[in-house]
Amino acid sequence: MASRALSTTLIERILPDRRDRSALRAALQVVVGVAFLAALAQVRLQLGPVPFTGQTLGVLLLGTAYGLSLGTLTTAAYVALGALGLPLFTGWQGGLAHLMGPTGGYLIGFVLASALLGWLAQRGWDRSYGRTVGAMLLAELAIYVPGLLWLHGVLGGSWGQTLALGLVPFLIGDAIKMLLAVGLLPSAWRALGER
């Protein structure tokens, strides 16, 4: 019984599943999640070939609140629809060039981070501040590793240049976004009377 309670995601707790409408509800949640990520992509500051955006905050929140299946599906839909040309990426742009360009690895990392966060959340990592910090740090790694590998492949040059362009300028902003997510998620569980 305790393991079932822990496997419940935040979105399932807020919006309990009704079997007769579960597919429709999931589709609506994906649409809302994609729109949320697209809106946060517009919060941006261009810092060279990789912009600083609010997308990471959206990935952290959605991946954790939606759980493994729905969070991964939502983030993958965002990346796929944007790559197909829908204007979902920063600057209301879309197209395969974004996936193939300097930011492509970060976009793939968003999907990996969502999956990891959803898996961890379904094991209760989003219910305490300490474990949520651990989950968010792992998610940031899941974004940065493919992002930096891809950026290095696209731009070439030294690893020092890659880190200077694709990591260092983002550390403070991503730490703030991470702390915001860490503050929101366990607090939401506490507001619902659960830990």
**Model pTM greater than 0.85?**
yes
Domain of 184 in residue numbering reads as: 2-191
| Separation CA 5–CA 194 (nearest Å) | 10
Q: Which residues of 98-129 are buried (b: 16+ CB within 10 A; e: fewer)?
A: bbebbbbbbbbbbbbbbbbbbbbbbebbbbbe
Residue 89, domain CATH: 1.10.1760.20
Backbone torsion region of residue 19, taken as left when φ is above 0, otherwise alpha when ψ lies between -120 and 50, otherwise beta: alpha
pLDDT on residue 71: 95
- How many domains is the chain built from? 1
pLDDT on residue 38: 97
Encoded tokens for 116 = 């990891």
The answer to whether 110 and 71 are in contact (CB under 8 A) is: no
pLDDT (tens place) for every residue of the chain, 195 residues total: 344 455 777 777 777 665 656 778 888 999 999 999 999 999 998 877 888 889 999 999 999 999 999 999 999 999 999 999 999 999 999 999 989 999 999 999 999 999 999 999 999 898 889 999 999 999 999 999 999 999 999 999 999 999 999 999 999 999 999 999 988 887 877 777 776
